[in-house]
Amino acid sequence: MNGLERDETMRLWKGLFYCYWMSDKPLIQEELAENISNMVHCFLLVDAAGEFVRGFFVTHAREWVGIDKFRMDKFMMLVRRFLRQTFTYALRKEWSAEVVEALCARPLEWCAGSLGLQLHVTDVYLEELAKVGGESLPAETVLACVKPFAAELAASREERLRAQIEERVFKHLMRQTDLGIAYEEMEEESEEEEGSDDENEKDGSGDEDADMLNGDESDDDEGEDEEEEEEQNGVLDPRAGRVDAVIPQLQTDLDGMSKILFDAASSKAVGATQRKTLYGLSKAFEKLKAGDYPLSAELSDEGDDDAEELPSIRNMAKERSEADLKEIAKSREEKKNYRQFLKEKRSAPSAKKQPADENEDASSPKDDAETAPVMKAKGKKKQKQKKKPTEKVETPSSPVKANQTSNGMEVSPPEEVRTPVTKVKSKKKKKKQSSGDETAEKEKSTEEVMTPSSESESAKKLP
């Protein structure tokens, strides 16, 4: 198959996701996981295979949050099996740089947005790479596969992901070296010796016959274990019945690891915490190259373990306790301020309701002297406000009647307004009287005009 478009690949993976979602029974789930993972070998072109692998991780990153606890185990198995078949595809292409860059070095980038899937991929990445590549895997390929994890360690702000990368990628490579394997074997032997000494002290000296029998049985068990280990060399997944998977040792370029970590820490965009972690890992690989195992629990002169780690742990605990105390004091101060605010808010309306006389009594004589002219001015304003309605009513030319508003609504006039109405009526009477006087004067004038004519007539009659 040459390849699919991105939309077609995403639709295909959504269907495969829910197909695996509905699968039941462990053996059926395992068989279906193998069949789905082997589909990557159907693509002949590297770009088409890379698009198919990308669709797998993008789809599972999107749906990872919705997976319930009853289905989580089988989907984690599917991710492990698919990652293994991706490395197998690269193995068939002879670990070419193009294949490693397109398929093997980008799963963590494609899982962005899903912390749980990133943690799981980080956990199983080197294990599946060792199962497929084995001891024959070139150190340059291991370095190319691990380089994206150094970049993620420098750029990520998620503390859990950084801790997982540090522990399951770089420290795992330190433990895979010859010096790390030798140190771990020594630790296991010392623990077994301590356990056997404790059992001998409790049980005491036993019968020689019983010791011989136990010795013979242990020899037989060791022979059976060796046979089982030979049979289990080809097993890639642990199973029930004491079937364990043996993980081969990876070849590690210590100089290359130290360099990529140092280069990642030298970037200006790296935070202080990430830079400190990267420099520490870089120095650890340099020590490992010099022959010092950096993960060993060094003993002090007095025989105490982890003597160097105790001060750092104490300092961390002290810093955390101080930070907690500061937060507690801050919360108490906020509560105190809030209570004070509530008290002031409650006392504000009561202060408004108090009469003005009490406030004046409580005030100082200086305040009384300052407020006296203000009170007089207020009294004058009140007197002026009382005089205004009488002046308006006395004007006879006002179009509004006493019992009627401008809108035509009848309103009963107040008692103070009724008194000037009588004055208006009396003025009307005065006007009538004045008009009567004027008519009387006119009549008089007419009489006066008429009187000379009467006198002339009377004169004519006289001789």
Residue 41 placed within a domain: yes
Binning pLDDT at 50, 70 and 90, where does residue 415 land? very low
What confidence tens digit (pLDDT) does each residue in 163-222 have? Answer: 999 999 999 999 989 888 888 888 887 777 776 666 666 555 444 444 444 444 444 455
Contact of 230 with 246, CB cutoff 8 Å: no
Greater pLDDT, 204 or 73? 73
Distance CA 281, CA 287 (A): 10
* pLDDT at residue 344, as a whole number: 86
Residue 149 placed within a domain: yes
Beta-carbon contacts of 102 under 8 Å, excluding residues fewer than 6 positions away, are 46, 47, 49, 50
With 0-12 / 13-18 / 19 or more C-beta atoms within 10 angstroms meaning exposed / middle / buried, residue 343 is: exposed
Distance CA 131, CA 243 (A): 16
Question: What is the full DSSP assignment across 343-405?
Answer: HHHHHHHHHHHS-HHHHHHHS-HHHHHHHHHHHHHHHHHHHHHHHHHHHHHH-TT-SS-TTB-
Residues 29, 33, 36, 42: is their CA dihedral positive or negative?
negative
Domain tally for the chain? 1
* pLDDT at residue 335, as a whole number: 85
When the pLDDT of each residue in the chain is averaged and rounded to a whole number, the result is 74
Range of 119-128, 289-298, 438-447, 449-458 with top mean pLDDT: 119-128
Percent composition of the chain: helix, strand, coil (DSSP 3-state, to 5): 75, 0, 20
* pLDDT at residue 364, as a whole number: 47
Residues 84, 88, 89, 93: is their CA dihedral positive or negative?
positive
Range of 74-88, 187-201, 404-418 with top mean pLDDT: 74-88
Instruction: Average the pLDDT over 282-311 and give the result.
Output: 68
* pLDDT at residue 295, as a whole number: 87
What confidence tens digit (pLDDT) does each residue in 146-168 have? Answer: 999 999 999 999 999 999 999 99
* pLDDT at residue 184, as a whole number: 84
Distance CA 102, CA 13 (A): 19
Distance CA 100, CA 109 (A): 14
Residue 65 placed within a domain: yes
Q: What domain range is 124 assigned to? A: 6-193+244-290
**Which residues lie across from 305 on neighbouring strands?**
299
Task: Let me know how many helices (H) and strands (E) the chain has, helices first.
Answer: 18, 0
| pTM (2 d.p.) | 0.59
Contact of 282 with 262, CB cutoff 8 Å: yes
Residue 412 placed within a domain: no
**Which residues lie across from 410 on neighbouring strands?**
404
Instruction: Average the pLDDT over 436-453 and give the result.
Output: 53
Strands of 125-238, DSSP E: none
Residue 345 placed within a domain: no
What confidence tens digit (pLDDT) does each residue in 334-393 have? Answer: 888 888 888 888 887 655 555 544 444 444 444 444 444 444 444 444 444 544 444 444
Distance CA 109, CA 121 (A): 11
303: left (phi over 0), alpha (psi -120 to 50) or beta: left
* pLDDT at residue 374, as a whole number: 44
Residue 426 placed within a domain: no
8 has a pLDDT exceeding 50: yes
Contact of 10 with 63, CB cutoff 8 Å: no
Selection from 124, 123, 103 nearest residue 56 by Cα: 103
Of the listed ranges 258-267, 293-302, 310-319, 407-416, the one predicted with least confidence: 407-416
* pLDDT at residue 135, as a whole number: 87
Residue 261 placed within a domain: yes
Locate 446 and state its tokens: 């007419």
* pLDDT at residue 202, as a whole number: 59
Map tokens 């049980």 to a residue.
203
Instruction: Average the pLDDT over 255-261 and give the result.
Output: 95
Residue 340 placed within a domain: no
Instruction: Average the pLDDT over 292-310 and give the result.
Output: 56
Binning pLDDT at 50, 70 and 90, where does residue 9 land? very high
Residues 151, 154, 156, 161: is their CA dihedral positive or negative?
positive
